[in-house]
Amino acid sequence: MKLFQRKERNGAGFSGAVPKHIAIIMDGNGRWAKKRGLPRSAGHSAGSNTFRNIATFAESIGVEYLTVYAFSTENWKRPKDEVDAIMGLLVKYLHEAIDEIKKGKVRLKFFGDVTVLSDELRSLIDEAETLSKRNAGMQANICLNYGGRDELVRACRALAREASENGLDPDSIDEQMVSDHLFSAGIPDPELVIRPGGEHRSSNFLMWQSSYSEFYFTDVLWPDFTKNDLLKAIEYFNSRDRRFGGVKNQ
């Protein structure tokens, strides 16, 4: 019996357990554009459309949380025109998303340090998260100016302040307390992490939360990623024997 059985989806060409929480490293936008002789910004635009399509499909098959890596703490090293294009796409996406949120169709949450973003982006993020609180359905978590190591450092600092200012006993700190100080506090860990684009590394993504996630890697570049690719990843998830450090029953 599968641990995370959700819904049977024979009509979608798939039958089996649907992970409650799927995370995706949206990789390959720049290479997709280069292969077509286009500017990297065109790849990011195509990747943004793919995110919309995959998010819609993921919700339709019963995924409850979808977390995507949109912009890392290291991505600031990229050329300024590329960074500006990404930020412009985020503004465009948030305007569209807020319209959908107002209709009760979308829930958004952002992981990462958004304090360094433009006033316009911060205002849109705040509006989107505030409006989302009244909605049901799948929650999309957007990792923006996010890094797994930075997240853990922030959690450590917060716990250190509690120890210094409020008398928290350092010996009482456990895994749950650390989890409660992460951007993802209150959200179940991802059961499946997908990385398109051909790279086989986590790239500082959800380092704490993905400790027992199943990882699925594919050479498909993110703008070319389809619902069938998502189903392949879920099928792989179903093929795994998830023991969480234990052993099979004899």
CA distance 1 to 19: 14
Dihedral, 86, 89, 95, 97 alpha carbons, nearest 10: -90
Backbone angles phi, psi at 21, to 5 degrees: -135, 120
> Per the residue annotation, which of 10, 27, 49, 126 is the catalytic one?
27
180-183 long-range contacts (CB < 8 A, ≥24 apart) are: 181/154, 181/155, 182/151, 182/152, 182/155, 182/208, 182/209, 183/110, 183/111, 183/112, 183/146, 183/151
- State yes or no: is 29 an active-site residue: no
- State yes or no: is 219 an active-site residue: no
CA distance 209 to 188: 8
**Which of 120, 111, 184 has its CA nearest to residue 144?**
111
Whether the CB-CB separation of 123 and 115 falls below 8 Å is answered with no
The owner of tokens 């909605």 is 135
> Per the residue annotation, which of 49, 75, 99, 113 is the catalytic one?
75
Maximum pairwise Cα distance, the chain: 59
Q: The tokens of 164 are what?
A: 């210094």
Active-site residues, by number, are: 27, 75
